[in-house]
Structure 1
Amino acid sequence: MSLAEQWRSGRPKVAGLHLDSAACSRQSLAVIDATAQHARHEAEVGGYVAAEAAAPVLDAGRAAVAALTGLPSDHVVFTTGANHALDLLLSSWPGQRTLACLPGEFGPNLAIMAANGFAVRALPADDAGRLDVDAAARQLAADPPAVVHLTALASHRGLAQPSAALADVCRDLGVALVVDAAQGLGHLDCAVGAAAVYGTSRKWLAGPRGVGALAIHPDLAQRLRPRLPPPEWGVPLTVTQRLEHGETNLAARVGFSLALGEHLAAGPQLVRDRLAQVGRWTREALADVAGWRVVEPLDEPTAITTLAPTDGADPQKVRAWLIAQRGIVTTYADWQRAPFELTTPVLRVSPHVDAALDELAQFAEALAAATAAA
């Protein structure tokens, strides 16, 4: 059975056409059952007894995150999602609070940086929004910030950033690199040698909503100063223990851990190759739809395709028409996703490994109809 067949057969039958994995993928039946089973176990034996029983599953989840990030499993913290992970990290940052990131940085990330008192400067990028590694190396060497933050794959544009090359630059300069892998985990190789990597369950890993992970290099962890409990209390907890919230939806963490295991069992490289193929198919299918321009290069190794309107189409109205009339789910992305780069709203298409050529042709026809009607 092919990867696409395994993926589809292991999930509930989709109601329509799901082209929105960059927002929220479809969970497998096994993940849904594991999540529900833990909730049932809490009702049977009590939440804290059930939590103790789930410890091996959660340890396996941390080990899976470690395998995907190249960071130690005992330095993996479960969070409620990517935004929470970044806030935990930046609120614990020691000393100087200066940060360099791309002009196309995710809007909510910028808000978290500002809320934690970080002065942000822009890294150099080309016209497409991809990091210029050589120019960045010169800039960082001349005036190194406390932290470099790189979103490996953006929310509003399916460009794979050169994370490994930037990690090499930062390592040589002794600057901490933090990688936002919300769209990267389960999609791109995120084991690049960063000081910290964080991400979420619900996107390409196809786990439950409301859970994510933060993986930290031990050298950075030793420097962090979490706010809770107050350091002066002298509570004998490690940094990772202080960062992890005990009062949480543990069932979601159990489901996330299983989803991570499914991803590793499928083969991360096989999944990455398939997603790159699906991305190419999508761009080929949509290249000639009137009123839209495919933003990404044809061979970009991602499954995110961004459609920019060229003749006044309203992406928000088009998305709504596609759902109401055809049961096709996509993403409307407005300027707030990347307030310093995105000038007009776009439509984002993000099928997973189970996408078929006939479905993409079906979407192309529906998009043309939606454009004419909306």
Structure 2
Amino acid sequence: MIDPAVVRADTPGASAKVFLDSAGSSLPPRPVLDEVVGHLRREAEIGGYVAARERADDLEAGYGVFASLMGAHPDEVAFTDSATRSWLAAFDAVPLGPGDRVLVTEVEYGGNAIPILHRAREVGFEVVTVPSDAVGQVDVEALRELLDERVKLVSLVHAPTNGGLVNPAREVASAAHEVGALVLLDACQSLGQLPVRADELGVDIISATGRKWLRGPRGTGVLVVRRSAADRLRPRLVDLHSGEWVGPDEVELREDARVYELWETSVADRLGLIAAARYALDLGIDAIAAEVRSRAERLRAGLREVPGVEVRDIGARLSGIVTFTVEGRDPVAVRDELARHDVVATTSHLTSTRIDMTRRGVEGVVRMSPHYFVSPEQVDRAVEVVAALG
């Protein structure tokens, strides 16, 4: 059970406004803020290298913290500067060539689709879209019909940016592994609001960010590469942290997931990311998921009662992302009007999830994402402001 008084006291911004943008960049709790600011001050006192050496044990412990959070071994965890960097590093390491296939779903994110299509054009593999089922999630039976020895990778967005859906990752992984395909799970919008465990979902690779539901600093990301998949990958974006220059013309790369890390990083931000993961573990991921689900369900129910508002969420299992449109109103104008009433929301547009939005005939949506630090009364206040727009 999460104590609302404690988490709100840890989150000063939670009282100043109705904050409904944890799917964009959430409000970090005090322990995260203290770690980041405190380490920056220490760097100013003694220099960055010395300050990092002082925290070497804490930085090393971070791999175990995320292993606990994400159902992995510490040597399967790597830290990066964003979910995008994590995803790109992993995708770039998958050997692909002419005759191969990469499967994507209809809710594929634009930040993934662009590098997939760009690389397909360069090296000649085929990109195939798996249809959605009647409720909008990936159709696992249709996926099975597309799977054969040509499929090398299934790119799966766990919780898309634009519609509340949670895709059935375990079922996708089970099907893909029958033909030896790898599964790269984009958990950018699920880590921190839902259980995201490699050992339970069965996926091969997970990429995620720190700044969203996990409530860490911007400029942080995490990558999990399971031991069973590591030997099948060919990391290319490497430096003197990822490997060692052992002879004039010879290098040896690391054998663990840290081969995907680079030498330069923000130590302060990484310490903040580790603090955010500890904070989530202390609260309990199941407890967080229950609170987020409660807030999102309350918000959806309230919005459905407002004339002219259409909730746009899809899927059998819903995340904490709530999307809607207001009849006759541009989503950006709605977002801006909400902001004038101290309700922080955002928008999602066609270019982020082009296949899904085109299929559903939607150009853009307003997106709200209530975290556990948002009170039920604040959820109701947001609904009141939307209702007043009409």
Instruction: Output the TM-score relative to the length of structure 2.
Output: 0.88
Q: Which residue number in structure 2 is paired with residue 122 of structure 1?
A: 129
Matched, 1:335 2:336: no
The answer to whether the Cα contact below 8 Å between 2:11 and 2:27 also exists between their aligned partners in 1 is: yes
Mark the CA change 1:144 to 1:344 in structure 2 (over 3 Å): closer, same or farther. same
Matched with 1:357 is 376
What aligned pairs does 1:1-374 form with structure 2 within 5 A after superposition?
A: 2-14=2-14, 15-96=16-97, 98-117=101-120, 119-140=126-147, 142=148, 144-191=150-197, 192-229=201-238, 233-239=249-255, 240-296=257-313, 300-309=317-326, 311-323=327-339, 325-342=340-357, 343-370=362-389, 372=390
Deviations 1:29-84 (A, max 9, x none): 11101011111222222212222222322233222322233222112111111111
SS in structure 1 of the partner of residue 262 of structure 2: coil
**Alpha-carbon deviation of 1:172?**
2.8
User: Alpha-carbon deviation of 1:299?
Assistant: 8.1
The answer to whether the 8 Å contact 1:21/1:204 transfers is yes
| Structure 1 residues not aligned, in runs of 5+ | none
Contact 2:18 2:374 in 1 (8 A): no
Unaligned runs of 5+ in 2: none
Please give the alpha-carbon distance, in whole angstroms, between the structure 1 residues aligned to 2:308 and 2:149.
44
CA, structure 1 residues 31+145, in 2 after alignment: closer, same or farther (shift >3 Å)? same
4+ long deviations beyond 6 Å: none
Using structure 1 for the length normalisation, give the TM-score: 0.92
8 Å CA contact 1:149, 1:177 repeated in 2: yes
Q: Is the 8 A contact 1:39 1:251 kept in 2?
A: yes
Q: Distance in 2 between matches of 1:2 and 1:145?
A: 43
Q: What do residues 335-363 of structure 1 show as CA deviations (whole Å, max 9, x unaligned)?
A: 11101121311001101012222212211
Percent identity for Structure 1 against Structure 2: 31
Distance in 2, matches of 1:300 and 1:216, equals 26
CA RMSD in angstroms comes to 2.1
8 A Cα contact 2:11 2:373, kept in partner: no
Moved more, 217-226 or 286-295: 217-226
Contact 2:192 2:213 in 1 (8 A): yes
What is the rounded CA distance, in whole Å, between the counterparts of 1:146 and 1:354 in structure 2? Answer: 41
| 1:210-242, Cα deviation, whole Å (9 max, x unpaired) | 110011012322232222448995323315343
Per-residue displacement from partner, 1:299-333 (whole Å, max 9, x unpaired)? Answer: 84421111033x2211101101111x211110111
Size of the aligned set, in residue pairs, is 368
Distance 1:228 1:281, change over 3 A: closer
